Amino acid sequence: MSDFDLFRINEDHQALREAVREVADEQIAPWAAQVDEDSRFPHEALKALTATDFHAPHIAEEYDGVGADALATCIVIEEVARVCASSSLIPAVNKLGTMPLILAASEEVKQKYLPPVARGEAMFSYGLSEAGAGSDTAGMTCRAIGQPDGSFLLNGQKSWITNAGESEYYTVLAVTDPDGQRGRNVTAFVVEKADEGFTFGAPEKKLGIKGSPTRELHFADCRIPGDRMVGEPGEGLKIALRTLDHTRVTIGAQAVGIAQGALDAALAYVKERQQFGKRIAEFQGIQFMLADMGMKLEAARQLVYVAAARSERGDADLPFFGAAAKCFASDVAMEVTTDAVQLFGGYGYTKDFPVERMMRDAKITQIYEGTNQVQRIVMARQLLKG
């Protein structure tokens, strides 16, 4: 396949973008500021997204989904993030939580858990990080010890879990062989919100994405039936890392959307704002800032779309492109939103305009699903492997 065929935006993708944008502008954007101010889950966005099948578009038709490809899923996330980053985490985290099942679960597990998510009856979160195991995922201490009846007793905690408490299902990674080789002694399970011994910590008080609850998961002798295992015993960390190869692309899409929203707001403002007798858009210094913002944003978008195409095909070099898309797009989002605040001047520093929220929201894209320092390690390893 030539480099010119890495991805193609077709008419269906364009129609999808227009449809999502209409939903985002009319049903999500009006609530974005209040959701941020109140630090509350965007139920209006969830209702709008499920009504239009944009809440989990990646799930295949055989599991009651719409079967959107990776690029289409990125477009959905991007367009929602353009108006509300918190709301874009609904489709993004549904993909993150279900991707381990899609990649490795038995058909029975897929048939049980994917259709409810596809139908909008439940959301799915992902439990990998712990208080002492962030970038060092193999250092986790959460344990799932096998029982004589074939079940597992889960004990420990998980940190920084997006949409915790709102989601019905959770993919949780835990050590199943404490004496086994580090990194090869972890297994993945589906945990249900109603499981006895499973509770949540208090919502974190965060800088941004305040509409998406982030909480700890706590497990105290939480019994998990053996048939809820995802993949084979000891393959959990491998499945988790394969999952991130795919879902880092969606964080890149979220970052692109946030940056686009900030650029849109900045462009509208500089065309209206007047100083020294003319619109500030006429000043060359302002134009240079806008040019750099637009150039870097478009470069980020193209990299995300290339990575999405590789995700769809399952290319061998996806680990490099997934890390690159997430890393570059999130760095661009932080830069573009910061510049947008600057273009608004003092007004940009107030909550009267959305750019300060977008700047706060952009920061997390450089941190979650692997810090950008970790992304650079991933990329370097891939390059050195050839």
Structure pTM?
0.97
The CATH class, in words, for 3-118 is mainly alpha
Phi-psi region of 229 (alpha: psi -120 to 50; beta: other; left: phi over 0): beta
Q: At what angle do helices 355-364 and 29-38 cross, to 10 degrees?
A: 70
CA distances from 195 to 38, 147, 191, 222 (A): 29, 17, 7, 7
| Cβ contacts of 32-36, under 8 Å, gap ≥ 24 | 32/83, 32/84, 32/86, 32/87, 32/211, 32/354, 32/357, 33/351, 33/354, 33/357, 35/84, 35/86, 35/87, 35/210, 35/211, 36/86, 36/210, 36/211, 36/357
Q: How far apart are CA 24 and CA 110, in angstroms?
A: 30
For residue 218, count other CB atoms closer than 10 A to its CB.
16
The structural architecture, per CATH, of the domain 238-385 is Up-down Bundle (1.20)
> In the prediction, which pLDDT does 169 show?
99
Give a three-class secondary structure readout of the chain.
CCHHHCCCCCHHHHHHHHHHHHHHHHHHHHHHHHHHHHCCCCHHHHHHHHHCCCCCCCCCHHHCCCCCCHHHHHHHHHHHHCCCHHHHHHHHHHHHHHHHHHHHCCHHHHHHHHHHHHCCCCCEEEECCECCECCCHHHCCCEEEECCCCCEEEEEEEEEEECCCCCCEEEEEEECCCCCCCCCCEEEEEEECCCCCEEECCCCCCCCCCCCCEEEEEEEEEEECHHHEECCCCCHHHHHHHHHHHHHHHHHHHHHHHHHHHHHHHHHHHHHCEECCEEHHHCHHHHHHHHHHHHHHHHHHHHHHHHHHHHHHCCCCHHHHHHHHHHHHHHHHHHHHHHHHHHHHHHHHCCCCCHHHHHHHHHHCCCCCCCHHHHHHHHHHHHHHC
- What Rg do the C-alpha atoms of the chain give, in angstroms? 21
Q: Report residue 34 as tokens.
A: 């209040």
**What does the pLDDT read at residue 193?**
98
* pLDDT tens digits in sequence order for the chain, 386 residues long: 344 445 778 999 999 999 999 999 999 999 999 999 999 999 999 999 999 999 999 999 999 999 999 999 999 999 999 999 999 999 999 999 999 999 999 999 999 999 999 999 999 999 999 999 989 999 999 999 999 999 999 999 999 999 999 999 999 999 999 999 999 999 999 999 999 999 999 999 999 999 999 999 999 999 999 999 999 999 999 999 999 999 999 999 999 999 999 999 999 999 999 999 999 999 999 999 999 999 999 999 999 999 999 999 999 999 999 999 999 999 999 999 999 999 999 999 999 999 999 999 999 999 999 999 999 999 999 999 98
pLDDT, position 356: 98
Give the rounded distance of the alpha carbon of 364 from its chain centre: 10
| Domain range summary for the chain, segments of one domain joined by + | 3-118, 124-235, 238-385
**Active site residues per annotation:** 369
Fold of 124-235: Butyryl-CoA Dehydrogenase, subunit A; domain 2 (2.40.110)
Copy the structure tokens of residue 65: 């989904």
